[in-house]
C-alpha cells in the first residue's frame, strides 16, 4: 500500500516561505485565497474576537496561524514536525501564537477547549480521517466551527493534483500526496455528521488560469504571480465549514 510521505515537512526550513521550485510555493499561493475565506467564516459565526480560541491543526510553518493572529485572534498551532513549528515561530510577527508539537489523533487539550478548529491541507495526510475528525469535535465547544481544506478523490484529481505537479514543478517529492487518502465531499460530510458536526458550506478552489502562462508551465518554477480563486466545483480541491451541535 502506497504511503504518503509526511517526512518532507521536517526538511523545508525557511524554504517554506522562500522556495519557488517546490510544491510548497503552491501552498503559499493557495493560502492567499484560503485565509480570507477562513476569516470570513470566523466572522460569520461571531468568533472574530480576542476571547475566541482558535486551534490550527497541522499548522506546518504557520501560514494560517500567523495570518489569523495578525487579525487579532487567539491562536494555538499544532503539528508533528518540530522543525516546521520552529519556522512558524520565527515568522510569527505578532509573537502571540502558541505553537506546540501534538498528534491530531490525541490532541493534548480538554474537551470543549476551542471555538474554532482549522485543518488546511491536512486530512489527506492521515490514514483515518474519520477518527481524527471525532477528536476535532471533542475539543470544540458546542456551536464551535471546524474549517477544512482537502482534495477530492477521483481520476481527474489524481492527474492534476498529483501527476501534473510531479511533472511540472521541480523538487516535487515522491508520494507528497497519494490518491487513496483523498476524500470525497460526501465522505467528509458523513465523517463530520458522525462526529456531531454539521457541514454548512463547501466551496471549491482552483488556480486562476489568467495567472498562468504557457511558458511558465515548463520552467519547473511556480510563477510568482500565480493566484487561486474560489469556485462552485468541488471536483478537485475544496474547503468547507461545519458547526458542532
At 219 the pLDDT is 87
> Within 10 Å of residue 233's Cβ, how many Cβ atoms?
12
Residue 230, number of CB atoms within 10 A of its CB: 14
Got the DSSP string for 78-98? EES-HHHHHHHHHT-TTS--E
Residue 205 CA neighbour count, 13 Å, CB half = 26
Pairwise CA distance, residues 210 & 19, whole Å: 22
Beta carbons of 41 and 148 less than 8 angstroms apart: no
Alpha-carbon distance values, 216 to 67, 140, 176 (Å):
28, 43, 22
Residue 234 CA to residue 155 CA, distance in Å, equals 14
Give residue 220's pLDDT.
87
Ranges of each domain in the chain = 7-244
- pLDDT means over runs of 10, the chain (245 residues): 91 94 95 98 94 97 98 98 97 98 98 98 98 98 98 97 93 94 98 98 93 76 92 98 97
Which class does domain 7-244 fall in? alpha beta
Give pLDDT, residue 199: 98
Amino acid at each position: 500500500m502506497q504511503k504518503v510521505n509526511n517526512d518532507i515537512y521536517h526538511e523545508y526550513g525557511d524554504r517554506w516561505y522562500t522556495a519557488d521550485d517546490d510544491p510548497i510555493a503552491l501552498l503559499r499561493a493557495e493560502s492567499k485565497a484560503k485565509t480570507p475565506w477562513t476569516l470570513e467564516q470566523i466572522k460569520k459565526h461571531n468568533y472574530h474576537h480576542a476571547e475566541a480560541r482558535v486551534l490550527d491543526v497541522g499548522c506546518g510553518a504557520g501560514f494560517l496561524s500567523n495570518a489569523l493572529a495578525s487579525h487579532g485572534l487567539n491562536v494555538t498551532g499544532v503539528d508533528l514536525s518540530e522543525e516546521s513549528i520552529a519556522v512558524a515561530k520565527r515568522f510569527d510577527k505578532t509573537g502571540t501564537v502558541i505553537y506546540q508539537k501534538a498528534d491530531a489523533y490525541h490532541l493534548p487539550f480538554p474537551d470543549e477547549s476551542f471555538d474554532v478548529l482549522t485543518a488546511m491541507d491536512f486530512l489527506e495526510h492521515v490514514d483515518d480521517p474519520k477518527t481524527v475528525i471525532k477528536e476535532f469535535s471533542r475539543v470544540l465547544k458546542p456551536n464551535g466551527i471546524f474549517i477544512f481544506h482537502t482534495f477530492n478523490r477521483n481520476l481527474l484529481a489524481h492527474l492534476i493534483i498529483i501527476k501534473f505537479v510531479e511533472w511540472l514543478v521541480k523538487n516535487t517529492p515522491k508520494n507528497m500526496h497519494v490518491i487513496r487518502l483523498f476524500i470525497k465531499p460526501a465522505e467528509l460530510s458523513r465523517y463530520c455528521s458522525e462526529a456531531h458536526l454539521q457541514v454548512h458550506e463547501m466551496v471549491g478552489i482552483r488556480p486562476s488560469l489568467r495567472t498562468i502562462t504557457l511558458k511558465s508551465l515548463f520552467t519547473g518554477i511556480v510563477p510568482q504571480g500565480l493566484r487561486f480563486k474560489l469556485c462552485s466545483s468541488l471536483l478537485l480541491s475544496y474547503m468547507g465549514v461545519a458547526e458542532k451541535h
